[in-house]
Amino acid sequence: MSARCPRAGFTLLELLVAIVLAGVVALLVYGAAAAGADTQARLRERRLALQATRAFRATLADALRNARPARTLGEKAFTLEEHRDAAGRPRDRLSFIAAGALPPLTADADWVVTLEPSPEGVSLEAVPLGLAAPTPLVVRLPGVTGLDIRVLGMSQPREWTTRWVFPALVPPAVALTFWTDSGPAGPPLRLALPLGGVQ
């Protein structure tokens, strides 16, 4: 009688179970890696959007802090136009003259700064005065389609108003509320203007 030797190796069923388990583990690893890459891409986009918002606000705040009154008779140093769209959202437009200070609005020229909303976002356009070949600076804040601008009036008691009737002067303070399609995008940006009310 011959003795049977047990076979060395795996059965077909054991191999199939191992392949299925390896496939499940590979799918889990791939899913986790894809979710991590997707999260990283969304965080990168959000960080870039926040950096762009900060740069826009810093440029706007610097320009407003350096807003200056008119130097010549008839010069319009600060104009505010109140507008509304068909849905009643504010779409105000602001134009003022700023003495340059920090980059990108350098001190080698005064700048005509215009702030207005558009369907692509609020844009800040600054054009240097007195240069032979002016290179305008345009900064856009995407996603913000409306703008509500209020200024602190000159009369006593001081009140916030949407009208500015002294184009040769700079108001003491300004409040800007940015709007998206769903409403205000946070609290207003309020700035005291150092040369506000000075002739």
Asked, for residue 63, whether it belongs to a domain, the answer is yes
- Could you tell me what percentage of the chain is helix, strand and coil, using 3-state DSSP and rounding each to the nearest 5? 25, 30, 45
Asked, for residue 80, whether it belongs to a domain, the answer is yes
Contact 169, 151 (CB under 8 A): no
Asked, for residue 189, whether it belongs to a domain, the answer is yes
Asked, for residue 165, whether it belongs to a domain, the answer is yes
Report the SS3 class of residue 50. Answer: helix
Asked, for residue 125, whether it belongs to a domain, the answer is yes
Number of separate domains in the chain: 1
> pLDDT band for position 10 (50/70/90)?
confident
- For the chain, give the mean pLDDT: 90
Instruction: Look at 3-17, 53-67, 95-109, 117-131 and tell me which has the smallest mean pLDDT.
Output: 3-17
Asked, for residue 174, whether it belongs to a domain, the answer is yes
Asked, for residue 170, whether it belongs to a domain, the answer is yes
> pLDDT band for position 5 (50/70/90)?
low
**Which among 69, 82, 74 has a CA at the least distance from the CA of 171?**
69
112-120: Cβ within 8 A, 24+ apart: 113/63, 113/67, 115/60, 115/147, 115/149, 115/176, 116/91, 116/92, 116/147, 117/91, 117/92, 117/144, 117/145, 117/146, 117/147, 117/179, 118/145, 119/145
Phi-psi map region of 62: left, alpha, beta (phi>0 left; psi -120 to 50 alpha) = alpha
pLDDT above 80 (res 199): no
Range of the structural domain that residue 100 is part of: 11-199
pLDDT digits (tens, 9 = 90+) for 145-170: 999 999 999 888 889 999 999 999 99
Asked, for residue 59, whether it belongs to a domain, the answer is yes
pLDDT of 101: 76
